[in-house]
Amino acid sequence: MYVGHFSDEKLLTLLDYGSGSGEMRSELCGPDDQNVLWQIRRFAGTLTLGMFEYRRDGTKYYTRRDGRQSSIRHFQAQLSEKHIRRDQLRWFPWYSYDTYTITGPPPLSMTEGTPTPWGEAESITHVTDGVYWVKTGAHGGFMIAVHRAAQLLSQSALTIGALFDHWLCYEEKSAGAVVIFEHREWCHIFTNPDPVGLATSIIRRSYPQYMQFIEREMMIRLWGSKTREDADLSAAVLGEDTSGQTIAVVISGTRLDTNLVSLACQIAKTAKRKLIIMYILVVPRSLPLKAMLPSETEQADALLTSALHVAEKIGCTAVTEVVQAREAGAAIIEEVQDHQCCLLLIGCERRGTGQECDLGAVLPYVQTKAHCRVWFVIDPPSPQR
């Protein structure tokens, strides 16, 4: 809890910090203690760090946290110094126990000689509307108009800045690193060859909670973006009817099989659908439908095993199925309906002197009967020999 109130003749400052060894209180009264008051104001960015939160509307509310002990020791060391100009008292604003509300028109400009938490401004660099890089004799940093800070910085960064009149202040080589981290386009004002790298190391050392917040926000944005991309891709691939939960791919032992299975796996992973890899074993009418066909079955098993290896490399879970049927087209449509497929992929390889697709009657049958989206993947004609 930090309360400050002053008049021309009387000063009163109460510091109340929770620390591991108990409470530290220092009560300073009388004009002789003006220097201590000024030092407290000058280093308020360190003292008030984490003590106040900022709402988006510019109000500031109290939250109890520990102050930085190095600053407290510095203030204690200044108690013997008694001389300072009286006009520096105006640097010290009013505080209350609970809230501090910004009043009056917010400033958007400053000039040399303007009071800052680090002394009078000696050089000022205009960064953007309501944002300045200020240098004093020994210190400096970003000064951002409160209403602009609410627009430009994250909520976590707002809690790190120190309130000074209508400005949020971020001292260089400490809180200023947060501003650089969030607005890398402002780095043109620095001669340091790697201001972002320096800012990152400062944040990791001095503001680990802020870095954790940023990393968490980045992960949320990345995952959110990926989710939106996946949803857009699913809609583009599956069409308007996305009720089906399975994607089917038919392999036939052609050179297209690997490409076809890879494509189906990628779609299934993105769309979060099950994948079934089918091989249609056509039984001649001269044999019973359930006849044992050892060589054909062995070939089918080999092809499906190879397809599963492709799916495993991609990280997609798939199931395989050998279907014995009289007509390939009818068998494919029946399986698609049984598995409630939302997408069917079929490959076609052109063979023969006429370069015709080897699917024969399968393609027009599936095209006519399928109730889901169908992708036919057809290779270009092979060179004539």
- 227 within a domain of the structure (yes/no): no
pLDDT band with cut points at 50, 70 and 90 for residue 34 = very low
Q: What's the burial of 192, exposed, middle or buried (CB within 10 Å: 0-12/13-18/19+)?
A: exposed
CA angle 305, 307, 312 (to 5 degrees): 95
Amino acid at 297: T
- 256 within a domain of the structure (yes/no): yes
By DSSP bridging, strand 140-145 and strand 52-54 are unpaired
Domain's final residue, options 199, 215, 231 = 215
Structure tokens that stand for 2 in this block? 């930090």
Question: Do 204 and 274 lie in a common domain?
Answer: no
pLDDT higher than threshold 50 for residue 241: yes
- 339 within a domain of the structure (yes/no): yes
Question: Do 78 and 145 lie in a common domain?
Answer: yes
Q: What's the pLDDT at 360?
A: 66
Quote the number of domains for the chain.
2
Following DSSP, what letter does each residue of 276-332 receive, concatenated? EEEEEEEPPTTS-TT---HHHHHHHHHHHHHHHHHHHHHT--EEEEEEEES-HHHHH
109 vs 384 pLDDT, higher one: 109
Provide the CATH number for the domain around residue 343.
Answer: 3.40.50.620
| Domain membership of residue 96 as a residue range | 2-215
Question: Do 62 and 206 lie in a common domain?
Answer: yes
109 vs 160 pLDDT, higher one: 160
Q: What's the pLDDT at 44?
A: 40
Q: What is the largest CA-CA distance in the chain?
A: 115
Question: Do 260 and 297 lie in a common domain?
Answer: yes
Task: State pLDDT tens for residues 252-265.
Answer: 888 889 999 999 99
pLDDT higher than threshold 60 for residue 242: yes
pLDDT higher than threshold 80 for residue 95: no
Task: State pLDDT tens for residues 58-68.
Answer: 444 433 333 33
pLDDT higher than threshold 90 for residue 277: yes
Q: What's the pLDDT at 253?
A: 86
Question: Do 205 and 290 lie in a common domain?
Answer: no
